[in-house]
Amino acid sequence: MRALRVLIPAMALLAACSDPAAKSNAQIPPLAQPSRAAPGDALTMKSSFAPVVKRAAPAVVNISSKRLVRARPDPFWEMFGGGAPRDRIQGSLGSGVIVRADGVIVTNNHVVEGGQEITVALADRREYVARVLLADPRTDLAVLKIDVGNERLPVLAIDDSDEAQVGDLVLAIGDPFGVGQTVTNGIISALNRTADPNGDTSNAYIQTDAAINPGNSGGALVDMDGDLIGVNSFILSRSGSSSGVGFAVPAAIVKRVVETAAGGGQAVVRPWLGARTQTVTGEMARSMGLAVPQGALVADIWPNGPAAKAGLRQGDVIISVDGRPAVDAAAVSYAISSRRPGDQIKLGVRRGGGEQSLTLRAEAPPATPTRDQQVVSGRNPFDGATVVNLSPAVADELGLDPFLGKGVMVINISRGFAMNAGLRPGDLIRKVNGRDIGTVRELIGVLGAGGAQWQVTIERNGQEVTANFRT
C-alpha cells in the first residue's frame, strides 16, 4: 500500500475567548539564545528526560483555529424551492512554540490558514486570542502574536547552529488528538530530507522516529539541551497515525521566518543560486571521473545572477556549500535559500580535474519584469483567470523553474470561461491567435481586440498545447 503524506491538524471545537489585553509598552525582548549545556548529567539523562521536559514543555502551546465555511447552493434544491444551505464552522487543532517572551509564537501555517479566530492555550491553560504576524506557505510556517501585557512567558531558544547529527536523541512535544500536552522521544533519522508534500525541492526537513500524531503539527522538536531544533510539520503514514517517519522544519528556517515577522516583514526573502542545476547520477559521475555520484551539475547560468558573479560556469559540479557536502541539487538549493540576502557563501566546485573554492553573495531573485497581477474578465478564454508576468521572483514563489523564459503565468482560476476551458494554475501563456505573449499588457491588448474565435497556446509541465475556443 502506498504511503500517504499526512499533515497533522486535528478537528476540534474551539472555546470562546475574550479580547486580548492592551499592548505592552515594555521593551521588546530579544530572542532567547541556545545554551549548549545539558540540564542534567549523563546518568540522569539515561534514566529520564524529565530535566529537558521541565525546561521545554512550558513554552509549547495548544492552538485552535476556526473559520466560517459558506455552503454553495444546490441547484437541484433551488429548483424545488428548498431552503438555503447552512454555513458551518470548521475548526482545526494544533500546537505551537513560544519563541519570544512577549508572546511571539511559531506554528505550522496549515494549522491557522484561513482561520478567522485563532486561540492559543498556554501550558497553564490560560487562553488568548492570537493574530497572525506572518504566514509563509512555502515553509508551512506561521508566526503569531498574543498580547500578555508586561508578563514574560517561558520561551524555547532556537538552535540554528546546524550541529544536529543523525542518531541524536530528540523529544517531540505537542498536543496530539487534543488530549493534552504529550512528550515522545526518538532519534534524528536523517537530515536534509526533501520529502516535501507540496513537491518544493528548495525545502528540506529533519526526519525523526519520535512519535508524531494528528495535533502535533506546529509543536516542538527539541534536543537534549532543551533547545528548539525544528517544528514538527508532517508524517508519512499509511494509516494517518505515527509510523516512525515524521518531518520537522529545521531551526535555521524557523529562525529566518520568525526574525522576518518580528521585524515587520510581510514575506520571507529567499536567496537563489542564479543557475539551473541537476543532481549528479552514477553515469554522470563515471564520465566526469568522480569517486561518488554526489553534487549538483551546473547546466545553465542566469546572466548577471549570483552564480555568474561568483564565477560559476556551465559544467561545474558544486560538491560542497560552506564546507558541508552537497548531496544533490535539492540540497544545494536548500542551502542557498536558507541564507539571508547579503550572506557570503563558500562553494566547493569541481572543474575539469581539479577543485576550487568560490564565494557567492546571497541575493534575492530579480522581480523583472514587474509582477503586474491582473484578473482577466470579458468574453475571452481567460475570463476568471488571475495572471502575472513571469520573473525569477515569481518562479521562486511558485516553485517553478526560473529558466522557463519570458511569459505570462496563470496563478489562479475562479468562476468564468477559463475554468470551463480547462485552464489551470501554473499554465504559461505562450500565444493567443498566433501572437507571442510576453507580458500581461500584451495579453490584455490581444484580448481587447475581441472576437468569437480564439486559438490559445499554453505550456504545461514542459509541453506546449494549442487549443481552439469559441466564446
Q: What DSSP letter does each residue of 161-176 carry, written as one string? A: S----TT-EEEEEE-G
Contact 196, 203 (CB under 8 A): yes
User: What's the Cα-to-Cα distance from 403 to each of 80, 365, 425, 440, rounded to whole Å?
Assistant: 54, 12, 18, 18
User: What's the Cα-to-Cα distance from 120 to each of 16, 74, 142, 178, rounded to whole Å?
Assistant: 11, 36, 13, 13
Is residue 296 located within the same domain as residue 339?
yes
Contact 244, 38 (CB under 8 A): no
The reply to whether 19 belongs to the active site is no
How much is the average pLDDT of 178-183? 81
| 3-class DSSP assignment, residue 446 | helix
For position 355, which CATH number holds?
2.30.42.10
Q: Among the listed ranges 169-183, 212-226, 236-250, 457-471, which one has the minimum average pLDDT value?
A: 236-250
Is residue 225 located within the same domain as residue 280?
no
The reply to whether 124 belongs to the active site is no
Is residue 350 located within the same domain as residue 382?
no
Q: What angle do CA 47, 94, 131 make, to 5 degrees?
A: 125
Q: Tell me which of 361, 389, 404 is where a domain ends.
A: 361
| 3-class DSSP assignment, residue 104 | strand
pLDDT of residue 449: 86
For position 230, which CATH number holds?
2.40.10.10
* Domain assignment of residue 153, yes or no: no
pLDDT of residue 197: 58
pLDDT of residue 176: 76
Cell of 18: 475574550
How much is the average pLDDT of 107-135? 90
Q: Tell me which of 318, 335, 361 is where a domain ends.
A: 361
Contact 192, 335 (CB under 8 A): no
pLDDT of residue 13: 34
State the DSSP code for 304: T
Contact 241, 332 (CB under 8 A): no
- Which one of 102, 136, 140, 383 is the catalytic residue? 140
Is residue 403 located within the same domain as residue 317?
no
Q: What angle do CA 125, 59, 211 make, to 5 degrees?
A: 95
Is residue 384 located within the same domain as residue 344?
no
pLDDT of residue 90: 57
pLDDT of residue 113: 87
Contact 337, 270 (CB under 8 A): yes
* Domain assignment of residue 77, yes or no: no
With a CB cutoff of 8 Å and minimum separation 6, the contacts of 164 are 188, 191, 206, 223, 229
Is residue 379 located within the same domain as residue 466?
yes
pLDDT of residue 342: 93
CA distance linking residue 464 with residue 131, whole number of Å: 44
* Domain assignment of residue 68, yes or no: no
Q: Is the pLDDT of residue 83 over 90?
A: no
* Domain assignment of residue 70, yes or no: no
Is residue 229 located within the same domain as residue 177?
yes
Is residue 253 located within the same domain as residue 181?
yes
Is residue 302 located within the same domain as residue 333?
yes
CA distance linking residue 374 with residue 395, whole number of Å: 17
Give the pLDDT band (50/70/90) at residue 128: very high
Segments forming the whole domain that contains residue 343: 275-361
Q: Is the pLDDT of residue 3 over 50?
A: no
Q: Among the listed ranges 145-159, 184-198, 337-351, which one has the minimum average pLDDT value?
A: 184-198
How much is the average pLDDT of 128-135? 93
- Which one of 64, 65, 217, 233 is the catalytic residue? 217
* Domain assignment of residue 44, yes or no: no
* Domain assignment of residue 413, yes or no: yes
CA distance linking residue 190 with residue 168, whole number of Å: 10
CA distance linking residue 128 with residue 137, whole number of Å: 24
* Domain assignment of residue 106, yes or no: no
pLDDT of residue 17: 38
* 324-340 per-position pLDDT tens digit: 888 888 889 888 988 88
Question: Long-range contacts: 421-425, Cβ < 8 Å, 24+?
Answer: 421/381, 421/467, 421/469, 423/381, 423/382, 423/385, 423/458, 424/460
Helix (H) or strand (E) holding 310: helix 306-310
Cell of 412: 489562479
Report the largest interatomic distance among the alpha carbons of the chain, rounded to a whole angstrom: 81
CA distance linking residue 106 with residue 197, whole number of Å: 20
Is residue 412 located within the same domain as residue 464?
yes
Work out the percent of the chain whose per-residue pLDDT is above 90.
49
Q: Tell me which of 361, 386, 403 is where a domain ends.
A: 361
* 22-71 per-position pLDDT tens digit: 444 456 777 877 765 555 555 555 568 888 999 999 999 999 887 655 55
* Domain assignment of residue 136, yes or no: no
Q: Is the pLDDT of residue 155 over 90?
A: yes
Backbone Cα Rg of the chain: 25
For the beta carbon of residue 244, count every other beta carbon within 10 angstroms.
15
How much is the average pLDDT of 210-237? 87
Q: Is the pLDDT of residue 240 over 90?
A: no
The reply to whether 160 belongs to the active site is no
Q: Among the listed ranges 8-12, 67-71, 162-166, which one has the minimum average pLDDT value?
A: 8-12
Q: Is the pLDDT of residue 96 over 90?
A: yes
With a CB cutoff of 8 Å and minimum separation 6, the contacts of 428 are 390, 404, 407, 408, 409, 410, 458, 459, 460
- Which one of 64, 92, 110, 189 is the catalytic residue? 110
Domain count, the chain: 3
Compute the half-sphere exposure of residue 377: CA atoms within 13 Å on the CB side of its CA: 2
Residue 9 or residue 268, greater confidence: 268
Is residue 304 located within the same domain as residue 238?
no
Is residue 258 located within the same domain as residue 279?
no
Q: Is the pLDDT of residue 419 over 80?
A: yes
How much is the average pLDDT of 286-290? 86
For the beta carbon of residue 76, count every other beta carbon within 10 angstroms.
8
